[in-house]
């Protein structure tokens, strides 16, 4: 039986919203770099031409998002650095597991979409939060840049949903 307990903060724990915002940016930079390693593997294992194309296009978009995140750091006067994002590391590990647990073809493609949408949904939540923080902190340029990334992540999610519902899931169910 578990009990609720207070958690003592680490020595370097964020004490201000600005510090928390910077921590979120560091996680996001790590995550985007990790995603650039995962997307080519997903694309190589996809059998749907449209899915391969969508993943390859999002890879290029992700590379640009890394550049945009570095601009966000610069806009708030902080050097760009990354910190391992445990949540994204777990989601990407799960994506690798899906590849191992599915045979090539439509079922694997459906699994790739599921894995990629988990990534997108995590990113949508993260960027949405950072946009809100930037707005509160009056980091206008950061807010604008992060909103651009957020919109790209939402678009990627819609593309994946469309592929799933119009092409891939029906084939996987056959």
Domain boundaries, the chain: 17-172
pLDDT of residue 174: 82
Whether this model's pTM surpasses 0.75: yes
Residue 119, pLDDT > 80, answer yes
pLDDT mean over 108-126: 98
Spatial contact of 119 and 92, defined as CB atoms under 8 Å apart: yes
Instruction: Quick: pLDDT tens for 45-86.
Output: 999 999 999 999 999 999 999 999 999 999 999 999 999 999
CB 83 within 8 A of CB 27: yes
What is the distance between the alpha carbons of residues 30 and 47, in angstroms, rounded to a whole number? 28
Alpha-carbon gap, residue 22 to 78, rounded angstroms: 8
Q: Which string of DSSP letters, residue by residue, matches 57-117? A: HHHHHHHHHHHHHHHHHHHTT--------HHHHHHHHHHHHHHHTS-TTHHHHHHHHHHHH
Yes or no: domain 17-172 corresponds to CATH 3.30.470.10: no
pLDDT in tens, 13-29: 999 999 999 999 999 99
Decide: 129 and 141 in contact? Cβ < 8 Å: no
Q: What is the DSSP code (8-state) at residue 16?
A: S
For residues 164-170, give the mean pLDDT: 95
Write down the pLDDT at residue 1: 56
Phi-psi region of 27 (alpha: psi -120 to 50; beta: other; left: phi over 0): alpha
Radius of gyration of the chain (CA): 18
């Amino acid at each position: 039986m578990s009990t609720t307990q207070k958690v003592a903060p680490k020595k370097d724990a964020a004490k201000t919203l600005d510090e928390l915002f910077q921590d979120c940016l560091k996680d996001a930079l790590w995550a985007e770099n990790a995603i650039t390693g995962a997307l080519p593997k997903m694309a190589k294992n996809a059998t749907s031409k449209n899915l391969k194309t969508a993943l390859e296009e999002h890879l290029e978009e992700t590379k640009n998002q890394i550049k945009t995140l570095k601009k966000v750091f610069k806009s708030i006067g902080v050097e760009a650095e990354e910190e391992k994002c445990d949540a994204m590391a777990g989601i990407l590990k799960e994506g690798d597991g899906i590849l191992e647990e599915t045979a090539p073809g439509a079922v694997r493609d459906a699994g790739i979409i599921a894995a990629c949408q988990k990534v997108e949904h995590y990113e949508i939540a993260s960027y949405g939060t950072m946009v809100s923080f930037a707005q509160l902190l009056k980091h206008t340029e950061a807010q604008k840049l992060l909103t651009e990334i957020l919109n790209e992540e939402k678009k990627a999610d819609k593309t994946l949903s469309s592929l799933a519902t119009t092409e891939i899931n029906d084939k996987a169910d056959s």
